[in-house]
Every structure is written in C-alpha cells, then in structure tokens.
Structure 1
C-alpha cells in the first residue's frame, strides 16, 4: 500500500511539473526545448553527447571557448588564446568570473579541471580528447599555459566541448546529479528522464540571458514532439521527419526546415565479433546496402550519401577523392561466397530507439537488404542510454550497430580518433590507422595534415571499417515566439535564441 501511495503522489507531482512546463513554454520570458533522448549525466567530464547532456550542461557550466551558431569559435571565459610555440597554448581569462558559490573561475580552477579529466582514477569519458596535454601551468590568476607533449593544432576547437566544474564544491558533491552553476543558468528542477528546468543565474559574470527560464523536455517520439510544437508547448524541436516539414509549415503555428548536419550515419562494425574480422564480408555489407534508395525513399532526397568516409565537406581532413560503395547486390553475393563465412549464423543489428532521424526505418531497410543477399539478420532495439553503456562500459556492441557520429570541432582529429586503437569508442583496433592519426595530430602544416587524413580515410574505405551510409539531415521545427539560427552540429542552446520582438 505504501508503494501505491508513493506512486500516486509521484504521479501527481510529475503532472504538476508537466503543467508548469507547459505554462512556461507560453511565457514571454521562457523557452522550452525538446530533447530526443534523456540527459544521462550532469558531469561535463563524463559525456560527449552534444545533443543531450552537453547541450544542457553548457547552460550551467562555463567553457573557455564556445562555437557560435555560425560554427566559428568565440570567446567565453577565455578572452583570447594563442599558440606561443608548437607545444604551448596560452589563455587569457575574463577577470571577476566566479561560480555561484563564490569560487573563482581563474587559471587555478581551469588547471584543476584539466587535471581531473586526465586523472585515471576519475575515469573521465572525455580523457582521450586531452591525451596530448602534459601540463597546465598557472602563470597568474588570469593567465594559463597548457603544455602539450606534441603539437596539438586542434586544441582550441576541442575546448569548445570542455566545461568547468567548481573544484572545492566538486570534492564534496556528486556532479553527475548535483550542480553548482558558473554559467548563465542554474538548475531549478530536475526530473530525470522527463524534464530539466533552468533559471537565469543572477550571479553570472557574462552577458545576461535573454530568457529567465529554460525547460528541456525529454520527448523521444517524433510525433509527440511535433504535436507539442503545434500545440504551443514547445519552442524548438529537432529530428523532425522530413515528411512532416511541409505539414508544419502549412499549419501556420510553427515553421520547419532542414540543413546539412555534420553527423554521419553508419552501421558500426564490431570487428571483435565473428564474422566481422573478415574483410571480404565487411565489403559485401557495403555493396549490399542501397544508400541512394534510402536517401530518396526515407528522406525525400534531403540527405547525402556518404563518400565512403566518416567526414563530410565542412570537416578539416575531408577526402573529396573517395566515392561511395555502389549498390551492387550481385557483387555482395560474390564477396560473401569469397569470404567463406557460414551464412547460416545470425547477424545482429542494434539500433538505439528514438535517437537518430528515422533510424528505425533505415535499420529495417538495411536488415531487409542484407537478407536479400543471403544473410540471416536480427534487429535489436535498445534505449540510447543503455546503448551507450553497452558500447562504452560493457564494450559489447552487436556485430552491427546503426549509429550517427559527429564531432563539433569539425576536425578530422576528433571524428577519426573514435576509430583509433585505445579509444573508448573504437571496435576496429587497426594499428596502421592509429599511426597515421598520431602523425596527423601533431602536424601543424595544413596541407601535410590533409594528406595524412586522406591516407587515413582511404584506409577506412578500403578495409570497410564500417558500413558507410549517409549524412543525416538536421531537421527542425521552431515556434513563432523565438528567433533561432539553425545549426548542423547538434548544439541546442537557449543563449543562441532570442524572443521575437
């Protein structure tokens, strides 16, 4: 009986909070944003998920550098930054910046955060981003030098995803579930899996927020997101099915559109599970999938087929010489026969639910086309948080996993490193590929870097390191209450928006 009473009370509280968030969405000084997946952690050093965790975290904690809606780097806590030599970056910080508890946002605080990420006992998920950092040196309160073991030309770009915790507060609190603001907003309410409501931080050292209150609501199902937008409950939704864009625009209640994203969709291959160690088998998978057909049938032509690589044209290191694997079922059958693989064994395809634009439909097509060339296929749908834990902690992905990858630095170093040996995301373990990236990472000459990345992407293509699919369109719907410049790099931030005057 006690459990039933508690469930009733919790249901009532949740209903009240939901009604409150709806009212907030209609208030002139508030904005409500729909997230496709729930926030898994509020610890900025324990997530690389831009479209959920880090987007919310970026309102609460400060960064040295941010990437603006124009996809260019802009100052935040760091007023300026420069390479003073090949192995030293210098940052000049904003004076007077503090966390809400009074802790200073100075060079010592930044050094502590870098040290925390690099501490193996902490086990930070983003530690790989900073593997070349050898030392952070406090020059004075407002000047920090970061020493690297080798040149790190993409370091400033990488810092646009790095957010700072208050050192003293963190020692006695759990930042995964608790927060102490140093950014434009502070947490007012957090109902895990449902919504997070933020209020403007009156102690913020930077430019005051345009909205007093921001609510992030978790709405996994696209139809529910669109209904909430049309009803005036939500101001921004992303991941709108391309088939719904015209209907939203015709409604007069909101507008919708699509731009190119920087997210590449692929069927990630677990090379540690049989028969994925077989190169001919992996190549057959690439020939068996009709990428052009998927783009046309599922996305109304609003997506772009992958050029046999993880990178798209905006990325530093994009290889324009690579061509997609053509759709050739007969070639796929020939390679399957050549591989010698027992085709009676089941091939599992995992797909995180309600995560990637029309990802469930795409997975069904992939499974069908693999079956057409003689494979026995099983689809496993899995919640996104469980999928990430399975991928990163348990290290137990299925043979294939439909996944979208992007790197907000828009640099090959970050994107390709997810396939480098030793990286927490890697399931390929190709030493030759890793050696090329190691060399490119420390090369400051732009042409030399591009040549090395051309070698790396060509190797991935030839070895069929993944099943390369398409560049996911960045679709969105926006209410008439706000102004927002669409961006293709997954960040969804209230401080990129303004109320319509």
Structure 2
C-alpha cells in the first residue's frame, strides 16, 4: 500500500517547474497528522485546505458577511425547500490531471452521508445530517436533496467539509479500485489531491506540508511558486526563526511577544479577532456538577472582561451570548446569556449545598494561546467565591466520563449558529451525551431553529435556546481571541474576516511578496 501511495503522490508532482523567487515558509504551532477536508474539523487542520481544494460555491472572504459567488459550480438553484440543483464548471482538473465531474461531487458528499468511516460519520452529524442524497443528473449537473427544509444550502456547499475530492484517484489507492474502502481514505489523507491553485507535493504528518503552484488551475494563477508550512511548536523558537529569516510568517503569537516583533524593523504584526470562542465546558453528567446551580455559579464567578484586559490587552471580544457578526441577520448581541456576578455565585453555591470539594479543571499547556494563563486566572476567580480548583495540566484529556471541567474552543465552521454553537451543542452535537444531555423541549427548539426558512422564526427560536443554555450552563464562552501573526516586512498578508478560524489563505489577491 505504501508504494501505491508514493506513486500516487509522485504522479501529482509531474510537470513541477523549477522554483522561482516567490516562495514562502510558515512556522505553525501545530501540524495535522492527516489532510482530508471531509473528515477534518480541527483548528489545526483548518490552515491546510483552502489553498489546495475548492468548494462548489465560493464567497468573498474579505468581508464577514456571506456574499456567494461561483466556485466549482457556475450556477445553482434551490428548486424546492429540500432540493438544490447545481451546474458544474467544465474543464476543471484535479492535481492528478483528471477532470472533475458530477461523479466526484456525488462521491465527495456520499462518503460522508453514507458514513463510510467513523470520522465521516462525525462530520455528517455536525454538518450534513439533513442531507439525504446527492445525485448526478448528467456529467456536469448535480441535485442535492435534504430530509427537512434547508435554509443553509449555499452556506453548506461553501464549507470546508464539502470541498470536492477525486473519486477514481481515491478508490484506486488501495485494494479494489471499484470499491471505496477505509484504507483508500486513510491513504488519501497522506497523499491528498484537490482542484485548488496549489497542489500538495510533500506531507510529513505532524511535521510539514509543502505546496507548489498548480499550472492547470481553472482560476487566477497562484501568486507563490511554492510554500511550506513547518511545525515549530515552541514560541521562542518560532520567533527566533522569524528574526533570522528562516521563516516568513509565524502563527499563534501571544500578546506578550508582540513588542519583540514590532521593535524589529525587519518584522511586523498582523492580526484579527478570530471567529472562535475559547470556552469553559462543564460536565453536567458528573456527580460534582450535576446540580446546575453549581455550573451557574462557576460561570458567574469568572470576570471575562478582566481576562481580556490581562491576557489580550483588551483586543479580544467578550460575548454577551453565543453569537458572531458573521451570522448576518442572525447576529444577536442583544441577548444577555452570560454575565459576571460573584455575589450571585456565592448565593447559588450555598443554595446547592456545595461542600468545598475541589473541582478539576483540565488544560493543555500550549494548545490554546493563553489557555494555561486563563486557567490559572480562573482558579483565582473561583477561589474568590469559595471554590477550590484542582488545575490539571495535561496533553491527554482522558475518558469523557472522568471530565469535570476544562477549556475548549467553539470555532465557527460556517457562518450560522448551526455552524458554531450547533456543531458542539445541537442534539447530536459533539458534546451531547458526553458532558450534557438536554431535554426534549430543547430538541424541539433546535429543530424549529435549524430547519425554518424564515429568519424571524429562527431568531426567536435561537433566543429560546440561549435562555435554556443560561439556565443549564453546559458551556461558558470566555472570549473571541485576537490571534496575531508575525511577518517579515516583505510579506503582505493578513487573516481575512470571511474565513473560518486559522485559515492561511495564499490564493491570488490574498498575499504578495515585495521585490
């Protein structure tokens, strides 16, 4: 199998030209162990895909709102509340030289809809649970059919998890070329092929990714001949590599290191508020936290504005509820779901009969920027209302049943509450049944929100959901972090507000290198 994977990746390299000056090296804090847009929904993975793969429907990433445009599809029409018909762009080539057709689109979605691997089953639950089938009408036309009315067709056909991959290439990687096997998808994740402006020419899992310009890309030519994403986990080492000219961009720069970069005339800082919440989650199914008054008290004890000032120099955004500006008409900052009230926290702890038993809080030392510092500050805030935190610094989260509380993140995977709050906390979401089990009324609220095609109905239902969350308190969003990047002065690049978190977009119009 290994030889076939190497041969497949080698085929992608055919026609690679000599490297020109337009090259770039990015030092990232983390690096994925696989590359497959349809099975990935991680913060680390999101940096990998936009340059090598394409969605059916594109959008203007320079703005937060959803302004859709043709991608691999040139036209689309929602012919009923449950049906979308799409016309594909002709002549689009995958990086292995084969043409993209309707069969590839059907395959890309049905590997997820049909749950061909456990990872695809998870993606279906969080993204495409409403999709019933995808059919090829002819070589360049596809019909999508959903179970319930679908208000998010365009949004979902723009999502990373719906990027199109090559059917024949994947099925030919291992075993029977006429059958899609788990081994095929595992092989693809090590030798990925897409339709994007760059092709992946080397992948060392957990270490580095190399991209080179794809000369046969259907759209605007890639501005770089070649770029590499290289894992350098230690911040000090990334900073030294940037200062020495070994790399051109570094990711995940904490606020206390910004001055070091800004004081170097060869370097600069770019950054943006990220469409992602750092959150605290509580295991409502654990005996220590099954009384919702204790969960409410722990949240009321946390001064999120103080965390923002101390850790992010006031540049992060502290939310009143679980909402983002990218939601457009469904952006609802007027909701007051999460507040700071230490006096009420003490009252609730007394009412619940809290006996002083320590509550464990798990955190990784480096995975989240400022994650450990936030946990240490929260420990002091809990202590101020009479709760002892057992701070557990670990890189292994253990069994869900043993979890008491921990930091986590809720990224915006697509621009709708279903694409952030919903992926974690909707019925069937990642946390449901692991740390929280809402009631049947909640399920009804969610379905009314998720499948209504009327904006006002969706807003009213989401307000009810947030009221329920305020009472149940399974999660507390702390803030949207302000994520900073260090750059060489010769690099013109910045994160774009229309992307999901941590995307490194080096497509035409997104990056330029000074002569």
2:410–2:421 contact (8 Å) kept in structure 1: no
The equivalent of 1:366 in structure 2 is 378
Pairwise mapping of residues 177-216 of structure 1 onto structure 2 (< 5 A)?
Answer: 177-216=190-229
Using the alignment, how far apart are the partners of 1:301 and 1:27 within structure 2? 42
Q: 1:420 to 1:218 in 2, by over 3 A?
A: same
Q: Could you tell me how far 1:199 is from its partner in structure 2?
A: 1.8
Deviations 1:279-317 (A, max 9, x none): 10011001111212111111111122221x222333243
Using the alignment, how far apart are the partners of 2:128 and 2:340 within structure 1? 39
Q: Could you tell me how far 1:189 is from its partner in structure 2?
A: 2.2
1:253–1:479 contact (8 Å) kept in structure 2: yes
2:149–2:452 contact (8 Å) kept in structure 1: yes
1:421 matched to 2:427? The reply is yes
SS in 1 for 2:87: strand
1:69–1:485 contact (8 Å) kept in structure 2: no
The equivalent of 2:4 in structure 1 is none
SS in 2 for 1:456: helix
Q: Could you tell me how far 1:469 is from its partner in structure 2?
A: 1.4
Pairwise mapping of residues 1-20 of structure 1 onto structure 2 (< 5 A)?
Answer: none
Q: Could you tell me how far 1:265 is from its partner in structure 2?
A: 1.7
Q: Could you tell me how far 1:157 is from its partner in structure 2?
A: 1.4
SS in 2 for 1:45: coil
Deviations 1:109-148 (A, max 9, x none): 1011111101234221311211111111212211111011
1:78 matched to 2:82? The reply is no
Q: Could you tell me how far 1:226 is from its partner in structure 2?
A: 2.8
1:55 matched to 2:61? The reply is no
The equivalent of 1:430 in structure 2 is 438
Pairwise mapping of residues 371-390 of structure 1 onto structure 2 (< 5 A)?
Answer: 371-383=383-395, 387=397
Q: How many residues align?
A: 466
The equivalent of 1:127 in structure 2 is 124
Q: 1:242 to 1:80 in 2, by over 3 A?
A: farther
1:449 matched to 2:458? The reply is yes
Using the alignment, how far apart are the partners of 1:276 and 1:169 within structure 2? 49
Using the alignment, how far apart are the partners of 1:376 and 1:361 within structure 2? 17
The equivalent of 2:474 in structure 1 is 465
1:420–1:429 contact (8 Å) kept in structure 2: no
Q: 1:120 to 1:192 in 2, by over 3 A?
A: closer
SS in 1 for 2:480: strand
1:493 matched to 2:488? The reply is no
Pairwise mapping of residues 204-283 of structure 1 onto structure 2 (< 5 A)?
Answer: 204-283=217-296
1:29 matched to 2:22? The reply is yes
1:319–1:453 contact (8 Å) kept in structure 2: no
2:317–2:480 contact (8 Å) kept in structure 1: yes
Deviates further, 95-104 or 260-269: 95-104
- Contiguous gaps of at least 5 residues in structure 1: 1-25
Q: Could you tell me how far 1:456 is from its partner in structure 2?
A: 1.3
RMSD, aligned α-carbons: 2.4
- Contiguous gaps of at least 5 residues in structure 2: 1-18, 175-183
SS in 1 for 2:49: helix
Deviations 1:188-237 (A, max 9, x none): 22222221112223343333211111111122333333332232233233
Pick from 30, 33, 39 the counterpart of residue 40 of structure 1.
Answer: 33
Using the alignment, how far apart are the partners of 1:498 and 1:52 within structure 2? 24
1:261–1:474 contact (8 Å) kept in structure 2: yes
Using the alignment, how far apart are the partners of 1:42 and 1:424 within structure 2? 21
Deviations 1:42-66 (A, max 9, x none): 12222112x4323313333332134
SS in 2 for 1:79: strand
The equivalent of 2:177 in structure 1 is none
SS in 1 for 2:50: helix
Using the alignment, how far apart are the partners of 1:311 and 1:221 within structure 2? 32
The equivalent of 2:306 in structure 1 is 293
2:213–2:224 contact (8 Å) kept in structure 1: yes
The equivalent of 2:181 in structure 1 is none
Using the alignment, how far apart are the partners of 2:431 and 2:70 within structure 1? 30
2:271–2:494 contact (8 Å) kept in structure 1: no
Q: Could you tell me how far 1:326 is from its partner in structure 2?
A: 4.2
The equivalent of 1:412 in structure 2 is 417
Q: Could you tell me how far 1:397 is from its partner in structure 2?
A: 6.7
1:132–1:149 contact (8 Å) kept in structure 2: yes
The equivalent of 1:350 in structure 2 is 362
2:30–2:44 contact (8 Å) kept in structure 1: yes
Deviates further, 111-120 or 190-199: 190-199
1:246–1:256 contact (8 Å) kept in structure 2: no
Deviations 1:256-275 (A, max 9, x none): 14432211121012222222
Using the alignment, how far apart are the partners of 1:66 and 1:246 within structure 2? 37
Give the TM-score of the pair, scaled to structure 1: 0.86
SS in 1 for 2:425: coil
